[in-house]
Amino acid sequence: MATLSAELRPHPTTPCDAVHRFAATLETQGPHELRIRFRIDADMGRLRFPVPEAARRRDGLWQHSCFESFLRADARDAYYEFNFAPSGDWAAYRFGARRAQRSSPELDAPRLAFSRHAAGAELTADISLAALADLAAAAGIHAGVSAVIEADDGRLSYWALAHASGNPDFHDPSTFALCVVRA
């Protein structure tokens, strides 16, 4: 089992002083399972999170508070984007190249758990890689972990392990800053 932890940072153009600390952990859970945990320490009364509802696959989650993960097998151009909303909604996409050749892979819904309290929140997503052949067979998975956080006034802040120059862009290969090495 491999575990990696890192801090997420806001994009310089979208700070959010309600967030005090933002951490992410990636952990392999057997040969074809990956657990991603997001922990945010914040003044939760100043942030907006979608309310829990019946979970479904849905596009556009990034328009409000949403936790995201980008996974690329070894050093290939193709990668996957996963979106996890505190509501339980989720999305998954496969890109053949940066922001190109998008498709929606057939896979089981990730297992999501979201908890919130006055000083923060945590979202855990368990993803099965079994149906994603290139990730399931990869010796290393390069990961970009990020989030969009909505403040109580509707402004969005963009958080990631690393930010490329210019506008926030979670698809930039330089933001895939972690590498989970699998045996």
Q: What residues form DSSP beta bridges with 76?
A: none
- CATH code assigned to 3-48+59-167: 2.60.40.1190
pTM of the full structure: 0.95
pLDDT for position 31? 84
Low-confidence residues in the chain, pLDDT < 50: none
pLDDT for position 183? 62
pLDDT for position 182? 77
pLDDT for position 91? 98
pLDDT tens digit string along 116-139? 999 999 999 999 999 999 999 999
**Strand spans (E) along the chain:** 3-7, 9-10, 19-28, 33-42, 47-48, 66-73, 79-84, 90-97, 100-103, 111-117, 120-128, 140-151, 156-160, 178-181
Domain residue extents for the chain: 3-48+59-167
